[in-house]
Each structure stands twice: as C-alpha cells, then as structure tokens.
Amino acid sequence: MSILLVIIIFSILVVAHEFGHFIAARQAGVKVERFAIGFGPALLKIRRKETDFLICLFPLGGYVKMAGDTKTEHTGLPYEFLSKSPGVKMRIVFAGPLFNYILALVIFWIIAVLGFPYQDTIVGKVLDGYPAQAAGIKEKDKIIKINGVRVEDWQEMAELIRKAEGAVKLTILRNGVTMMVDIPLEKKEIVDNFGIKRRASVIGIVASSEVKFVKYSLPQAFFKGFEKVFSSTLLILKGLVFIFSGALPFKEAVSGPIGIYYITSETVKVGLSATLLLMAGLNVTLATINLFPMPVLDGGHILFFFIERLRKKPLEERIEDFLTRIGIVLISLLVIFVFYNDIKRFGPRILDWKKFNPKTSAEKSVHKE
C-alpha cells in the first residue's frame, strides 16, 4: 500500500510540473504532441485534439513533447516550440516549476486551514546532570517565555536557548501556577537542521511527544501558505550554499528515489498532515532544483534562451550541444552517486522491515535542548 501511495504522490508532482509546461505551450500556440506520465511503453493512451495523453509503465517521472522542440525536428512552422521568441520559450519552460510552487502553495494553504502541526513547549524529560535538573525543572512543565520572549512551539524555544549566552530566564507553567527560573547554560556540540555540527547552549531538556495544531482563516491561511513556500525555498537555497561551500557533506544532504521512497513511506504512516507537508516540501524542492541554471534542467534551458535574447540569435549548435553533454554527464554521475548513497543509507532499512522499528527511530530524533 505504501508503494502505491508513494507512486501517487510522485505522480501528482510530475503532473503538476508537466501540466505547467502543457498549459503555457498551448496558450503560446505551440502544438503539444504528447503528455506522458512515466516512461517506457504506454499502458494507456488517450488522444484529445492534437495531443496523445499517455500513462507509461515506469511511473516515476514524465514529459511533455512539443512540436519542433529540437533543432533536428524544427522546420520553422509557427506552431513549433523553437519558432517562438526567447521570451515565450522561457515562459513555457518556467511554467513547469511555477506550477509546482503553486501546488505547494495550495497544499500549505489547506494545511493552514486544517491546522499546522507544531510541537508544544512541554518538557517531556529532564536529563541527568544538566542545569535544568539542578534548577528544579520537572517533566510536564510548560515553558511560556524565554528571557521575556513568548514562545509557542519547541523549535522556536530551542533556537532562543541555543543562541543565548551565560544564562536564561524561563517563565514556566506548572499545575496552573506561573513561575520564573534562572538557569545557567552549558555549551554542547549539536547537529542542526542542516546536519551541521556546531556548539550551542543547552539546558538539558527533551521535548514531549505532544503535538498541537494552529488553525487559520482562509485569507490568513493563504498568506501563511505563501510564507511557507518562501521560507522553504530559502531553506533549500541555504542548504545548497552549505553543500557547495563544503560545510555540509554532500552524501548526507542529498536523497534520491530510494531515500525519498523511504521517507515518504514512513511519513504516510504518521498521518494526513505530515503527508501533505511532505508533498508541499517535495514540490518546492522540485521547483527550486529545476530552476538551477544547469543544462538539461529547466533552469539551463531558461539560461540558453536568455542568452539568445541578449545576442538576438541562438547559441551556436556546437556550444549548446557541448554544454548539454556536460550537463548530461554531471546529472548521470549525480544519479549514480545518489543511488549508491541511498542504497547504503536506506537499503538495509527497506529490505529488513522487521529489524527496523519506526518508534525507536522516532525516539532517536527527539529534540534535546
């Protein structure tokens, strides 16, 4: 069942992306010959007007085939892709990632209406030998403020503690009574959300498993969804900067189909909200990575058309072919590395479900501050 759900989630991402190309091409008067979901032999074929809609044997991926979209097929007819101006071609290519961003916005909007999940600031455990224990912090204490700043979720609270120096003043709620506690800080090496090790301040408390939901009105939810798309994009770009600067090991930062399958199948078990959040995140990731200016990716095509617009003529065919070959080689090497890395990281867990306990895995990832 989880395999089917993973395929459905991937297919939704692909359909959104290719539908963007399809709609933009049709609006620009470009003939679309095929709209395929998946690759390989066609399992289902439906013809509508001038387009064949296909569902293919291998469900991961898809493509839109436009008339005259390669130099060998281009004959100069007005309905062909390469006959259009650079601006129109850029708009058609950009529409794919744009529709992934739009789908992510819609999903975040729905989640915000249903309720965004967040981890409450309730202490689940006090670690032995840490400042919180010495200060008298107890399990089930609810932390309301850090140094006078009101906190609503654990992650927000954790960041305030990690950035603090010397000591922190906690306002806590215990059995209906509000009290303030001064706690000295201890420096420890932690692993942040990007997987980077750094020294930060801690007091020795662990989050409870209690999850709450905050709901928004329809207008508020829309702006919350837009904010989430924007912040998620910045987070991905920040991660890419860390990867290219060497601060974040590439093999720990990147997951391929096997890793995404594993993460998705585990997320589906958690519930609808977690699955929707993952879908939105995958849409933002797909859109952002696709806009990277590398040949073969949408961003690479946009770069070529932008250069064409500046030069008033296309790049020489030999230069474009050379850059495209480099892009194909780099993407192929990346695919091989990612598959190998996925097999090492996730293979044992997928192949031996009995030895893998999701509950144990979740316990290992509990937030400690």
Structure tokens at 243: 């990867």
**Rounded to a whole number, what is the distance in angstroms from the first to the last CA of the chain?**
37
Q: For residues 114 and 120, give the distance between their C-alpha atoms in angstroms, rounded to a whole number.
A: 18
Q: Strand pairing partners for 328?
A: none
Residue 280 DSSP SS3: helix
Look up residue 340 and give its DSSP letter: H
- CA distances to 110, 123, 177, 272, 281 from 104, rounded to whole Å, are 10, 33, 42, 15, 7
Question: Does residue 18 carry a catalytic annotation?
Answer: yes
Count the helices and strands in the chain (H runs, E runs). 11, 12
Structure tokens at 360: 């144990």
Backbone φ and ψ for 159, nearest 5 degrees, come out as -65, -40
Spatial contact of 342 and 251, defined as CB atoms under 8 Å apart:
no
Residue 170 DSSP SS3: strand
Structure tokens at 9: 């989630």
Could you list the active site residues? Answer: 18
